[in-house]
Every structure is written in structure tokens, then in C-alpha cells.
Structure 1
């Protein structure tokens, strides 16, 4: 019978094995930091299904589980632990009705709920595809759709392509909800054209994005596979670290060292001591002028004391260098 303490000792290793640490990815003795790509990113697949238009929004977060959206029904969102989620909406231009028809958890960590692990796999493109492409190939698993005994397993394959001109976050600055609302309106006007058999021109919801949709279909062993490409400089093997930014007027203090702060603190302490001591001498003894300053007599005599100290030091150095009138034989 296995010792339960052994299981507890192995638990951290098990957790580390199924977790994708974006900040520390080491493959074939090469290090990658993808933490700058963290956060939810959306991409779309659109299809014309007369009389409706299908729009599947795929949301991915490489670095952490997707957070639940406030104000959205839980049935219209993927379960907790999801890293890649697909939500299909259908819009009918005739009556203007939009509804969510499917929610597909494609990849994530579902060990505690369904017993399926994300089991991430990261490889270099040069090794996985035997090409000169520079970048990474990341596979994320754990999803199932539908969530039944006969449901198909799901996974996402993201190819991060080296592009030194792109960060990978381009195209995600706009409000996603505003973009979709405007696009649905354009689709409705296009669908009301003279030719009912002509497909409406679907707007490009992902124009300018570094992340692009490739395909979503059943592949080997009926596994639903979502394929994406992502152009980013963080997938470059020879990427140099960005130089430190020069401190601006608003954050010059960020570059101050320990010695600078030490001088400032000492100065503030001395100033506080003089101010408090002066107030104390004035309130207690009614002192004026130099008598206000604590140890004013000592401060007045400080130049002379320094002069005597320097003179005495010089005399000692001269006497120390003399051999008392004797010379070596």
C-alpha cells in the first residue's frame, strides 16, 4: 500500500508538471519569457449559415485561467480553470436576434472537476516541423465537448512565430463589445440586399491582430483541434532583452541608489533635529538668534575645531615620518 506521505511529497512536482509558467520556459537549453502575452485575447471564426451568421469567439490566456465575466450568465461561459474557450453566437439579420448556441471548453486544468489535466507541451518549431521557422509550438489539452461520455476531447495548438517587429499584443486595444456590435449592424445591412442568395460580406473582426485564427475541426481520433498563429518577438530565440528605459520627469526617483537615499534621510533627520531643537529653545527659554539653534556654540566653533583637527593631524603625520634625527648606518 503506498504511503500517503509520499503522495503529498510528490504533489508539488505533479502540479508543476501540468502548469505552464510563461515567465520561465526552457526548451533545448534556450529560455523564453512569454509573460508579456498574458491576459485574455480573443479571435473569431465566422460562417454564413442561412438565415443566420455564426460567430465563434475563441478566448485564450496562455499564462493563467480565464476569469468569469461579470453580468454574463455562467451557462454562456466556460467553467473555472479554462485557458482556451470557444463561445458560438448566431445572429439573425432578419429579426436582429443574437443568441449563444454553444460553449466549448477547449483547454484548461480540470483535474479537480473532471479529472482532465491541461498537460501543456512546448516544443521549438525548428524541432517539431523540421523547418527553418523560429518560434514555439504550444499544445494545451483538457477540454471536452460536449461534456458527456461520448463527447470529443479538445485541444489547442498555438504556433508562436518569431517577428522582431511585433510584441504580440497588437490589435487588442479596442473594446471587443463595441467592435462586435458595429460589425453585426453591417452584416444586417448587407444581408438585406437585393440578392437573397448572395452571402453577406462578413467583417474582419481580427484585422491588425498579431494573433490569427487558422482552423477548428476534428482531427485524428476525433479530437477537436483549434489552431492559431501568433506573431511576437518573444518567440525569437535570439531576442535581446529590452534596454532599460531612461527615467522620465515623473519617475526619476526610480533610478536613485542606496547612497542617494542615505544622504537624503540623514539630511532630513538633521533638519528635523534643528527645527525641533530651535522650537524647544524658543518655547522654554525664549532664546533668540544663534541661541535658538541646538548646540549653537559648538556649531559656531566648528570651523576652528576643524582647523585645529586638520593641523594636529598634519603635525602627527610629519612627526610619524621622522626618525628622530637618526639615520640608517
Structure 2
């Protein structure tokens, strides 16, 4: 009895590529908006997005106390992989204060982890006229959470208009409110239709910024290509398995084509080598007359 093997139909990668591209577009669109509009004056905080850390050190003999704050103006803080969960602020935190006690000859000891601002809390933005800038305040939960003497926490950033971006200054932490000061072009407002002010340091190095944009574009290209290939093989294998009951190498979409790829590459390399290699005459140096 001759058994006929069912032929596995090739799986079209069009839908897989479309799915991968859709995921990228949705993830890019899910980023928090850093644009602020107050009375027709716009502020673009995109240049300041991402995680920032600033700290101060206070002498408390015989030890020192380090107050370190992590914050993100446009999104939530990511959990740190090398830090225990109990030593971090919970998910949904935008500003987190960590108090660390340091003593010579002893390991650092975390004594308090305080969520200053959360995504679910209120955000107040007030334009400043003299000097020009913004006052941004995020509300947070009360700390300690299970105490009758808990204090509502908040995070305030005074963003001043400047042609260049300065270092962040830890101003104070009193009565549950932590205050920072920062000077940057993002603190300069602009009318609708005008381009937001740029950092003069960035304008002085156009070659470096161009290289950065080029590198970022190449990285996105390979990321899209990798996701498209992963979706193509994954969905193709699932399609062949669920539709035709394929197993083993039969799961690979366009299996015959991928089997020929090494031979095609070998032929291409052989052709290129033969084109580059100089040709020698087989007449031993004699010329026919």
C-alpha cells in the first residue's frame, strides 16, 4: 500500500509582516505626550523625557544620608532589575525618593523608599513669568501608608527657560514635597506654528546628531526585519501545524526555498570570487603565432 504524504502549503508572510509593523506603530503611539499647552503657549518636553536621577548628601554623624530621586516627566519609572522589589517604588510611580544611610566600613543601608508622584495622581502646571519657565507638580500618595501620621507626598520641578540644558539641582525636601530646579530650552514657550527652541549645544554638533539619527534608523530597520521574520516563521509554523498537522521540518514555511538558500549563497560567493580572482593563461606564457 502506497501512502501519499500531504503536501504542506506555503504560508504567506504578508500578514505576519503587517502584524509586526502594526505592533511597532502601536507601541510608538502609546508613548506619553510631553506637549503642554497653556493659554496658547506651547511647551515641548520631549527632549527631557526618560529617567533622570539626582541626589544630595547630608552629614548625619557618625554616618551620611544620601537622598536620591528618580523621575520621568513623561512616563512611569521602569523597575530596576538589580534592586530588590522591596527597595523600589511600586509600579505606576513617576518620581521615587530613596534614602540611603552610609557609614564607613559598613554596607549601604536603604532606610526609606518614598513614592513622590504617581501616574494616577494629579498634575498641576503653572507658567512662570519672571524668570520664564514652568512649575510642574505631581501629587503622590501619603507616606508612611499605614500610619496615622502619614504625610501626603508631591514632586515639584521648576523648569526654567535657558538656551542650554543645565544639571538638575536638588532644592529641598520638606513637609512631603520634593523640589528640583532645572534649566533647559524645553522651559521656553513658543506660539502655535513656531518651532520649539533647541539646545545650542546640539546645534554646535550637527555631524554627531546626524550620525545618531542614522544609527537610530538602522536600528529600527533591523528591529522591524527581526520582528517580521519571527512573526513569519512563528505564524507559518502554527498555520502548517493547525491546518495540515505538520511536524518537524515540515513546520517551516517555504521549506524548499530555505533548503536552497545555502546553495544559492555558495553560488553567489563562488561567482564573486571568480570575478575578483585574476585569470591566468593556460599556455604557459607562450603566445600563439
Q: Normalized against structure 1, the TM-score is what? A: 0.48
What residue in structure 1 maps to residue 181 of structure 2? Answer: 229
Q: Shift of residue 96 of structure 1? A: 2.7
Query: Quick check: 2:98–2:113 contact (8 Å CA) kept in 1?
Result: yes
Which structure has the higher relative contact order (CA within 8 Å, separation 6+)?
Answer: 2
Name the structure 2 match of 1:100.
Answer: 110
C-alpha displacement at 1:40, in angstroms?
1.1
Instruction: From the superposition, tell whether residues 23 and 43 of structure 1 become closer, same or farther in structure 2 (CA, over 3 Å).
Output: same
Measured after TM superposition, the shift of residue 84 of structure 1 is 0.6
Match of 2:152 in 1: 153
- CA drift of 1:149 comes to 4.5
Counterpart for residue 128 of structure 2: 125
Shift of 1:123: 1.2
Q: Tell me, in whole angstroms, the C-alpha distance in 2 between the residues paired with 1:89 and 1:240.
A: 38
Match of 1:77 in 2: 88
5+ residue gaps, structure 2, are 1-30, 191-195, 218-289
The Cα of 1:80 is off from its aligned counterpart by 0.4
Cα pair 2:186 2:197 within 8 Å, conserved: no
5+ unaligned residues in a row in structure 1: which ranges?
1-19, 110-116, 127-131, 169-209, 219-223, 255-329
RMSD across aligned C-alpha pairs, in angstroms?
Answer: 2.7
Aligned residues: 173
| Contact 2:164/2:183, CA 8 A, preserved across alignment | no
Secondary structure (helix, strand or coil) at the match of 1:124 reads strand
Structure with the largest fraction of strand: 2
For residue 57 of structure 1, give the secondary structure of its aligned residue in structure 2: strand
- Displacement of 1:43 in angstroms is 1.0
Q: Deviations along 1:243-271, whole A, 9 cap, x unmatched?
A: 8x6867x95xx9xxxxxxxxxxxxxxxxx
Structure (1 or 2) with the larger CA radius of gyration: 1
CA distance in 2, matches of 1:55, 1:241: 33
Q: What is the distance in 2 between the residues matched to 1:235 and 1:107?
A: 20
Structure 1 residue 240: deviation in Å? Answer: 3.6
1:87 aligns with 2:90: no
Contact 1:22 1:33 in 2 (8 A): no
Contact 1:78/1:103 (8 A) holds in 2: yes
